[in-house]
């Protein structure tokens, strides 16, 4: 709970992948670590504190966030064990998670831009 509050207070925009935690828990290899980390509860606290502190939280579609190059948009297929993103198209080299984080941020910003002026 404190971590979620601190994340909200120190940022104006928080974006995360809208992962289907229920489906992921069905995978026996992932179930314990996901349950131990309380992903769903953390998301609920993020949403709660965002309202309290008038901040923006956006859940984005998780599709290809680590596969899509955050620089050029090329899809770079890789297994989960590959931790570095190497784009042959634009020569970008990033940590897989950093590449995914940049894609998540860009999707959140696009989502905000698409809702500007809409009520």
Q: Is the pLDDT of residue 74 over 80?
A: yes
d(CA 57, CA 18): 11
Alpha-helical regions (H) of the chain: 2-9, 21-25, 28-37, 39-52, 96-115
pTM above 0.85?
Answer: no
Q: Note whether 60 and 107 are within 8 A (CB).
A: yes
d(CA 42, CA 45): 5
Q: Is the pLDDT of residue 3 over 80?
A: yes
SS3 78: coil
Of all residues in the chain, the percent with pLDDT exceeding 70 is 82
């Amino acid at each position: 709970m404190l971590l979620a509050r601190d994340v909200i207070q120190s940022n104006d925009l928080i974006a995360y992948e809208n992962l289907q935690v229920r489906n992921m828990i069905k995978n026996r290899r992932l179930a314990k670590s996901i349950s131990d980390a309380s992903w769903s509860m953390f998301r609920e606290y993020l949403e709660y504190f965002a309202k309290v502190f008038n901040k923006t939280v956006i859940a984005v579609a998780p599709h290809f966030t680590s596969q899509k190059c955050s620089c050029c948009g090329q899809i770079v297929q890789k297994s989960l064990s590959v931790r570095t993103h190497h784009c042959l198209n634009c020569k970008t080299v990033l940590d897989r998670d950093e590449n995914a984080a940049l894609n998540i941020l860009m999707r959140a910003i696009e989502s905000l831009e698409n809702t500007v002026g809409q009520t």
